[in-house]
Structure 1
Amino acid sequence: MKGVLLVNLGSPDSTDPKDVKKYLDEFLMDPRVIDVPYWLRAFLVKGIILNTRPKKSAEAYQRIWWKEGSPLIVISARLQQKIQEKTTVPIALAMRYGSMTLKKGLQELVDKGVDDVLVIPLYPQFAMATTETIDVKVDELKKEFFPQLQITSLPAFFHKPEYIEVLSKSISEKLEHVDYEHLLFSYHGVPERHIRKSDITKSHCKIDQSCCVTPSPAHQFCYRHQCLKTTDLVAKKLNLQPGTFSTSFQSRLGFDPWLQPYTDRTIERMGLNGTKKMAIVTPAFVSDCLETLEEIAMEGEEIFHEAGGKEFTVIPCLNDRDDWVEVLTGWIDSWRITDLKTAIATH
């Protein structure tokens, strides 16, 4: 029997600093998030970050927390329910970090008689710290607890026409009645070393102006290439003119070089350079979360206004849009009916 496991990042159980600290501990101690030797990661996370960051992060969560709970969890649950209403296969929901564990999600499907699972990491672009850590953890759980399960993971869908169509539509609908001068595509940032580590050719990725547009097998796992490709495909779909849009990366941590340009500095620069009306979309996320609702919609707007900007339009993530539900349901049904990975994973 087939079943589907939707997987997103996760969230603290509450905005209490203790719950936030517990969540950050699990998240930041993941070797694919902070990819340094264990002793150094433990020193940085347990010795420094967890003694300073939980209170500040708790305050940020408090700014965006809904009465139903974490926006990311609530939205993901709504998405799960809508998909379940449209397909006959069981749909479970899990988070990579936090109390809604991958093990619980897999066990829920097993308890329903499922022995063939399609794991859907809810990330359009592949990255070590998102898709890869989910795939690795699921594989570990399969070996230890669920050896009987057959598992297929949905590859990155950053370029799939149906995804680009829905994303473009969500942007055009929001901007239809908005006067803006520039549209910024802001993606979650990752350290530059993650790009090089994900390079299966071990030589292609230079993180310059040419490697991401030069065909290579490395692009299958290159986060930077996939982000730039998403921007390019949407820009073509919406007929955006050169100079009216750009790409940036948000949420850097530490002092190592991360993908550039940085979103906060880009927003500030645009305001200082005279841009009065800008819009921003966050295509690395399919569900609104702390990074979109607080870092972009609140902090980003503050930066823009302080730099002289006037109107700051934030485009919501796809969340539980009906057309996005239809896309996911279509991929699931193709997998269910055909038994072919190519039905959902054509590159």
Structure 2
Amino acid sequence: MSIAVKVLSIGTVLVTFLFHSTASAQERERRSPPRKLTAHQAEVAAANYQKYCALCHGKDREGHANDHAPSLRSKSLMESGIAHQVLRPMQYGRKGTAMGGYLDEVGGPMTLDETWDLTYWLFEQAGYDRLKFSTNPVLGDVKRGEQVYQQQCANCHGVKGEGVNAPALMNQSALAHNTDEFIRHAIVNGRQDTPMQAYKDKLSEEDIDNITAFLRSKSLGWKAEKPILRALPEPADYIVNKDGDDPNFDLKDGMYVLSSDLNDALVAKKRMVLLDTRVTSVWQTAHIEGSIPFPYYADLDETVRGIPKDVQIVAYCSCPRAAADYTINKLRDRGYTRTAVLWEGIFGWMHQGFPVQRGEIEGVND
């Protein structure tokens, strides 16, 4: 398929393709529902949602419970060609965001069938018909799209699409899985019951196309990678610096330790246990050295084995505190009083220049 790129003037690029989708929203074909779950599959999917997803996406799928996680019941999302737009981030996560991969082959807790069933369950709960979108590109002026994006979108989604108080839009894995029409549909209709407003009455159709083309332009050069899974720590390795002194942290609000104080304690070889409360797949990607994977959804009786109550425990997550708060509160209910949460989370830790141990990756051929 050939693509023609015409430079109209300095700083203005019009990307023109040899085909274009002309179907309007009213003309789009309605798709048949995905397969119907059995009662048992639906029961397991509902339990998995509450166990793995509700902390950030909300107990009733309303979204924005933590880390600006999107609503999973919004009409414009759930009619937009589900399942892959939900399935893939659930399975493989969103690199550079708090969304980890929940598929077992990348270190997550769910099987392939369970991720599919959870996706179908979300669709059933939403109760909307699916729209059939084409995979054709949306045409637009990329430079103009960038200007409109900065004016209309950057305040919430970030100047570079990194996400400020709304989802990251220029995440390469998201752009790889979302079609142009999926992106455009979200801009036109917004996300119901969330801060994302509809722009169909605020922007021209041309500028909506321009923003879509600008976002798509940021997916160029995306390269798929696969983590090389490392062995999980054994209980004998849970305590960092076994012969060190107690760190004696001065905790903020009786709960939180600052990144600078934690780093100082690690450099000084203080004795403690570090808990990474994110999904294990992101621990595989990068974690504070010496930490153990301790997912917020895990069975507490299993995960606390090997952790004594007389050692300082510090938990962290990436949202920046929700999963760690949840875990530490459960531990405190079990009598673990020497506990703390990393205030800035691991992203804050990294942004301040403190070190992490990164996993090995290998390239994946398309």
Shorter-chain TM-score above 0.5: no
- State the structure with more CA Rg: 2
Return the TM-score normalized by structure 1: 0.35
Larger RCO of the pair (alpha carbons < 8 Å, separation 6+): 1
